[in-house]
Structures are given as structure tokens and as C-alpha cells.
Chain A
Amino acid sequence: MPPVAPRSGDAIFASVERVNAELFTLTYGAIVRQLLTDLEEVEEVNKQLDQMGYNIGIRLIDEFLAKSNVSRCVDFKETAEVIAKVGFKMFLGVTATVTNWDAEGTTCSLVLEDNPLVDFVELPDTCQGLYYCNVLSGVIRGALEMVSSYLNGRLGLSVDNLVSMKTEVTWIRDMLRGDDAFEMQVKLVKQVPEEYPYKDDE
């Protein structure tokens, strides 16, 4: 089956309820500031932001699937395109580009030139190790962990077909650190067969 060409998320974004990006940006800034005060170590803040993103990702995927009508992605390549074109647009109103594929087709980069999280932001010297947008990588990691299991489950396939995409997401470029764009590297670590929650004899 040829892969369905990924569509754009423009129409969905136009149809959902929206809020001013500045409220979103400043609220995110307030979260980061609170974490920096509470946790003190920049490394811990990175971890907490990633965890928050993960929590969001595993919930956001339901809304994404419900509103986007994306029924199934045939492979990781198509998945990445859909995230970049439909996912980012639908929630943040911006699109990302997918690039830098490795030969195996398991690692790629999502590049963002517009990023509503970072308006008004400048990292002070004390926060140089901070991955300010770490919530985004968490969202992607969380969403992908839920996505394929949900899709396959919905299609009513047998338990053996349930897989979950485990990914590692790392920042390659960051405009707050002086780069010319935001670039996240998404690496598909493995597709884990989903475990059926009950044993047969229970």
C-alpha cells in the first residue's frame, strides 16, 4: 500500500478554538521560572520539563487522532511527516520540516524556525545548560509511545501486532543558544510489542 501523503494541519488549526500565543508563551515562561527556583539545578529543570511534556504527549495524542483523521502511518517516515505538518500546526500553529534522515530511516530531525515558546526569551549566563524547549521533546516522546498501540488497537488487530514506538529526542540546534533554528533529533529506538494487560488464565 503506498503511503498516504501527509496533509497539512491548516484546516484543523483554523477550526479549533485558539488563544493568544502570548498567554501561552508567558505561562510557559512562568513554569520554567518556577522550576528554576524550586529545583535550582538546570539539569533537573531539563528533566522536569521533559516529564511535563511526556505527560502532555500521552494525553494529547487522543485529541490529535480524533481531530486529524490520520488513521494510520505506514512507517516511521510518514509518522515524522505527520507530526511536523499536522501535529505542530494543529496545536502550536507552526509547521516543522523533517530532514536529515539516516540510511536506516530510523533517525530524523524536526526543524522549527518559528517557535511560540521562545518569544521574549533570552537565556541568562546562569542558565546556559537549560534546554528551554524541552517540553516539546517530551511531548513527542510521549505521543509516539502511545500512538501505534492506539492505532493498531483501534483497527482491531490481534494482540501480537500492538507495538509502541520508543524514541529518544535530543536537541541539536537551539536558537536561544545562538543557532539559526530549533532542531530536534528523533531517534526510533525500538518498537516494543505492547503487553496485553491480562494473562489468559486470569
Chain B
Amino acid sequence: MIGVGKMKQYTNVLDRPLSKGKQEVSLSAFAFLFSELVQYNQTQVDNIAELERRLEDAGYAVGARVLELLCHREKGNRRETRLLGILSFVHSTVWKVLFGKVADSLEKGTEHEDEYMISEKELLVNRFISIPKDMGTFNCGAFVAGIVRGVLDNAGFPAVVTAHFVPVEGQQRPRTTILIKFAEEVLRREARLG
């Protein structure tokens, strides 16, 4: 019969049911892909700062989408409007979905009121990465910093987010700390909300 036989009709992405987010791929598939992302970006830059900026940009695009997806799926179309709420959303909900676990720690900076830190002993993206000596303080966690910035910025909490290696006593590999420095307006709003 003419016109019969197409088994699956293509439907618009918005008309399809949202996945539950339980599907998995192998960690190596992700690691191979991430390595290509880093290597490609290395060919596009002259220095480490630029490379980190590009990885952060890539991560930002992921973060923006993760926020939208998770607010819809996990939070019943609501999003956090308070500083501590959004931070714990990143530290718990986002981390759990993306990396399979809650982040190791979330701390407030001791020296500056506007700084918060999310630390991870072994950040997933850094699992198979060792940084050559000549690349100094470069940290592929810039990608994750970008994800965090993407989530925060799109939720109305603009911030500067950077990734740093922090040596841990008795450990061979340093942990990665994602440093979040909120924009002034965010703190002013928080103060007003009391």
C-alpha cells in the first residue's frame, strides 16, 4: 500500500516526551569525546587563558540547557531564586544528574563575602587527564566551571566561575575547586530580600 510502511514518524522535539534521564553511555565514550573537545580547542588558541575561556564557553552552553531541563524535570517548572538555594541546586541536583554524585563539598569563601567554592576530589572530566608541565595551571575543569556559570547566569545569578587545582595533603592528585564569585547585583538583591 502506498504511504504505509513508515514505522516511526518523526515528531518535533517539543512534542516528544522528555526523557527521564536514566540512559547511560560508557565513561570512556564521554572521555574520548571530551578529549577531542580539548584537543580541537587547543588548535584554536595561542595561550592557556584563551583555551580555558573556550572550554568555559562550551560548558556554558551545556549549563544553560541543564538548568532548563532540570527545572522542568526535577523541580516541577520552578527554579531557585535565593543564593543558597541555587548553590545547593548546583551542588546537589545538577552534580547528581551530570556526574552521578553530589559534589564533595560546598563552602563559603572565608576572605570574601561573594565567593563560594564547590570542590571535587576527582572531577569526572579530569579523570583521564594529566596536564603537561609546560601548560602550567591549566585545568580542564574550566568546562565544568562553564557549566556552573551557565546554570547560575541563566537562573539570574551572574557570576565569574573558575576552576583551580588545589593540592591535598597525602594525595597524589590535587582536587579541583570551582570558585564562584557572584556579581555585585546578586549580593545586593540577596541583602534586600533579607
Residue numbers of A with Cβ under 8 A of B are 13, 16-24, 26-31, 33-35, 38, 48, 52, 55-56, 59-60, 63, 90-93, 113, 116, 119-122, 135, 175, 178-181
Contacts and interface: CB of A to CB of B under 8 A. Distances in A.
Interface string B22-62: 01111111101110110111001000000000100111011
Interface of B: 6-10, 12-13, 19, 21, 23-30, 32-34, 36-37, 39-41, 44, 54, 57-59, 61-62, 65-66, 69, 97-100, 124
A55 B29 contact: no
A16 to B, nearest CB: 5
Is chain B's interface secondary structure helix, strand, loop, or mixed overall?
helix
A20 B10 contact: no
Contact of A20 (B6, B8, B24): B24
Contact of A19 (B8, B25, B54, B69): B25
Is chain A's interface secondary structure helix, strand, loop, or mixed overall?
helix
Nearest to A178: B10
Nearest to A49: B36
B128 to A, nearest CB: 11
Nearest to B9: A180
Contacts of A113: 8
B31 to A, nearest CB: 9
Given A18-B24, A31-B36, A181 B97 contact: no
A119 B7 CA distance: 19
B36 A52 contact: yes
A199 B34 CA distance: 38
12 contacts: A16-B28, A17-B26, A23-B98, A24-B30, A26-B66, A30-B61, A31-B36, A34-B40, A34-B41, A48-B40, A92-B26, A93-B23
A116 B25 contact: yes
